[in-house]
Amino acid sequence: MTLDELEVLDGKVSDEAQKVIDEAKKECSYGFEMPIMNEIIKTSEKTGTLKWTHKSIRSCNYCNKNYDYHTYSRNSRNHTKGDKNYDKPIYYSGIKFNEGFVTFQGDGDMCLECCTKHKVKERLIDYIIDNDLKIQIVKNDYRVSKYLKDDIRTCYSCNEDMLESQMGKERTMMGDGFYPSKCPHCGAESKPFGKSHGVTNRFGMIKNPSAKEEVQKTKELVDAYNQNKDKNDHLYFYQNSHTDSIFGVNEEKWTNGYTKVIQFNINSKKFTVGYFYKEKCQQFKELLTSFGYIEVEDK
């Protein structure tokens, strides 16, 4: 049924049917001319994420890429030149948004050409950010997500719910990162080969520290600095793997460690400058100072 036909029944049907009507009205309220884009936003609001996967697809509904097969290039005993070879389907470069764990070969939302032509990713991202929708956007080169999805776990010891962002972190066995382990209520810890906290399909949302203006402007300064420099003289921008409120800039080359340029904490509004950069990072210092940060001595 069309939306107009559903709206005639609005408020006059059973509760179950009304849910279908409400979903259809909500989907159309996003206002995109391509129905698939409305579906993508609706799904993202339910799952809390906007993500996409590049994959080979069989057809595209938005151009002339049809479901078809390659043809035989020569005659043989069993076929004629130009006949369709049903063992060789034609695939196109495509994209699928918000794909779940179950995937289907050849299935996608559209081809990459149409996605680029209609600026689908960019318009979806703009809509989410400009309308302050609480959706985590997958890392991309266009805009930084304002929110991060914060999964809810259930403690195996006290049975209390907790957000992963509230849990204490432990270093991974390989020593290359940290994972949420400690219950903030009773202190029970997940162990790699022991008890672990329960996983739920519920989640909250938190502000993304990387989306703060001073973080983005610092990253822009690093990119501008690197533009005309030799690779050995590049700087790199990072976020602390243990404390996500700490950001910094180091030299990219390894000289018995990475030489520190500057580091700042968006919660404490304080920054420290590396020993060899006391007089050489004025732009970074001026930027952070303009956002209310104060310099403290490096410990």
pLDDT single digits (tens) 48-83: 999 999 999 999 999 999 999 999 999 998 889 999
* pLDDT tens string 151-203: 999 999 999 999 999 999 888 888 778 889 999 999 999 988 889 999 999 99
Q: Among 22-31, 182-191, 227-236, which stretch is predicted with the lowest mean pLDDT? A: 22-31
Q: Note whether 42 and 106 are same-domain residues.
A: yes
Boundary of a domain, candidates 208, 224, 251: 208
Domain limit, last residue, from 137, 168, 198: 137
Four-point Cα dihedral 278, 280, 283, 285, nearest 10: 0
Contact 186, 157 (CB under 8 A): yes
Residue 176 belongs to domain spanning: 153-208
Q: Give the chain's radius of gyration (CA, Å).
A: 26
239: closest CA among 162, 180, 174, 178? Answer: 178
Residue 257 pLDDT more than 90?
no
Q: With respect to residue 201, please indicate whether it lies within any of the assigned structural domains.
A: yes
Tally of domains within the chain: 3
What is the rounded distance in angstroms from the CA atom of residue 57 to the CA atom of residue 53?
A: 11
Q: Which of 104, 137, 170 is the last residue of a domain?
A: 137
Same domain, yes or no: 184 and 267: no
Say whether both 133 and 187 belong to one domain: no
Shared domain for 245 and 284, answered yes or no, is yes
